[in-house]
Amino acid sequence: MALETHTLSLAHLTLSPDELAFYKTQSGIDSEEKLKERIAEIAQKALDVYPYHCIWTFGFLRFRILRSQSGYEQLLELGATRRDALFLDLGCCFGNDLRKAIEDGFPAQNVIASDLRPDFWNFGHQLFNTNPTTFPVVFIPGNVLDPSFISIQPPLPSQSQSQHLESPPSKSLLQSLLHPNPNPNSLNPLRGHLSAIHTSAFFHLFNKDEQLLIAKKLASLLSPLPGSVIFGSHRGAATPQEGERNSTGTLFYRHSPESWKEMWEREVFWGAGEDGGGGGDLIRVEAGLTLDDKSREILCWTVTRL
């Protein structure tokens, strides 16, 4: 099925005071008019690559990383208190959310960006007037369903903070894990080392089986240290529902808070706990529904290692 085409509507290009201040500061463009011209220019380029809904509606401008407030607070706390806390933003698009986290204090040298489409990451540099030298966050492109990008491994057993502190690396943990590859194309070397993983407007792009597969992959990447967290937000529903997108003909699945919690505890972490049963002794899952500015149900969630 051919993809639907969409035309940008500048009526959708709105910014709250906080968003306007952020994009002005990050881009160095102080004129609101010129800033919006830049945003529209980048959005049109991205739309020509792939017509995601969040592109032609300018939904990408929102701080989705803030929707799961507890997850975001955990992220910043990890960045401030845990040595070598690594943070992955999966499905990062232009990198808006990870730039927000860096602005709020997370160490830039410990951030990894990843997206299926490298063009979007490059458009982010254009949007924010940066380049790989002035903004040297590691970017690793790849398809989350490809096992060479992320393979399925069981979640790692619990580990104490004291075990973590026994052998400090001679150089940064991220450099050590990715060495000697200057252009990494897989997240597998990061397995068990990520303190935080964020992904928003991402899971709802996949069907139910694919969502479970992706969740298992992310669980294997997460550090087993207590407090490590996977968090994000995406379309959800009070009652789980499956459907087909008119634009692409692909199936989607919208979890409820209850089914989302059950998936992580009963399927993703099943058998990984000490009793060999559910994952309730390894993780704490929080999930709830809220409404976005279009009155759509959004599932906001955190999965925290205990």
Q: What is the pTM of this model?
A: 0.92
Q: Which amino acid is at 131?
A: N
- In whole angstroms, give the CA distance from residue 303 to residue 219: 9
Q: Is residue 162 situated within a structural domain?
A: no
- In whole angstroms, give the CA distance from residue 134 to residue 104: 18
CA proximity to 236, closest of 299, 302, 301? 299
CA proximity to 90, closest of 131, 44, 141, 126? 141
Q: Is residue 296 situated within a structural domain?
A: yes
**pLDDT given at position 170:** 47
Q: Which helix (H) or strand (E) segment is 284 a member of?
A: strand 283-291
* Interval 13-54: pLDDT, tens: 999 999 999 999 999 999 999 999 999 999 999 999 998 889
| Per-position pLDDT tens, the chain of length 306 | 445 556 787 878 999 999 999 999 999 999 999 999 999 999 999 999 998 889 989 999 999 999 999 999 999 999 999 999 999 999 999 999 999 999 999 999 999 999 999 999 999 999 999 999 999 999 999 999 999 999 999 999 887 655 554 444 446 899 899 988 878 999 999 999 999 999 999 999 999 999 999 999 999 999 999 999 999 999 999 999 998 876 667 889 999 999 999 999 999 998 665 666 667 789 999 999 999 888 999 999 999 999
**pLDDT given at position 128:** 98
Q: Is residue 57 situated within a structural domain?
A: yes
Q: Is residue 5 situated within a structural domain?
A: no
Q: Is residue 131 situated within a structural domain?
A: yes
Q: Is residue 54 situated within a structural domain?
A: yes
Q: In this structure, are residues 229 and 179 in contact, taking their beta carbons and an 8 Å threshold?
A: no
**pLDDT given at position 166:** 45
Q: In this structure, are residues 140 and 187 in contact, taking their beta carbons and an 8 Å threshold?
A: yes
**pLDDT given at position 167:** 47
User: CATH number of the domain that 30 lies in?
Assistant: 3.40.50.150
Q: Is residue 248 situated within a structural domain?
A: yes
Residue-number span of the structural domain to which 113 is assigned: 10-157+170-305
How many folded domains does the chain comprise? 1
Q: Is residue 3 situated within a structural domain?
A: no
- In whole angstroms, give the CA distance from residue 11 to residue 34: 16
